[in-house]
């Protein structure tokens, strides 16, 4: 893995809307030309109390859905 993008959403519905957005598809299409591997992971998660201070986003972000895009940049040849 050379790059990763992590985003947190309040619900699966929000992730679905994000994943269907035309701009995201455009970015994925352009990145596909530069990547050996592209992996998309969606998980439900909670923020543990011991790292809660890092987020400081309020209780709306304690529980949510995480979208992670992992890229391995390299030649497709």
Parallel, antiparallel, or unpaired: how do β-strands 35-46 and 3-9 relate?
unpaired
Model confidence pLDDT, tens digit, residues 17-31: 988 999 888 888 888
Three-state SS letters, 10-76? CCHHHHHHHHHCHHHHHHHHHHHCCEEEEEEEEEEEECCHHHHHHHCCCHHHCEEEEEEEEEEECCC
Model confidence pLDDT, tens digit, residues 35-75: 888 888 888 876 666 555 565 555 655 667 777 777 777 76
CA 16 to chain centre: 12
> What residues does each domain of the chain span?
3-73
Q: What is the pTM for the complete model shown?
A: 0.58
Q: In 10 A of CB 28, how many CB atoms?
A: 15
């Amino acid at each position: 893995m050379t790059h990763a993008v992590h985003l947190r959403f309040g619900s699966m519905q929000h992730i679905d809307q994000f994943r269907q957005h035309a701009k995201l598809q455009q970015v994925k299409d352009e990145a596909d030309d530069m990547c050996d591997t592209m992996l998309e992971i969606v998980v439900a998660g909670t923020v543990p109390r011991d790292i809660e201070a890092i987020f400081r986003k309020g209780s709306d972000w304690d529980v949510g859905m995480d979208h992670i895009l992992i890229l391995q940049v390299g030649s497709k040849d």
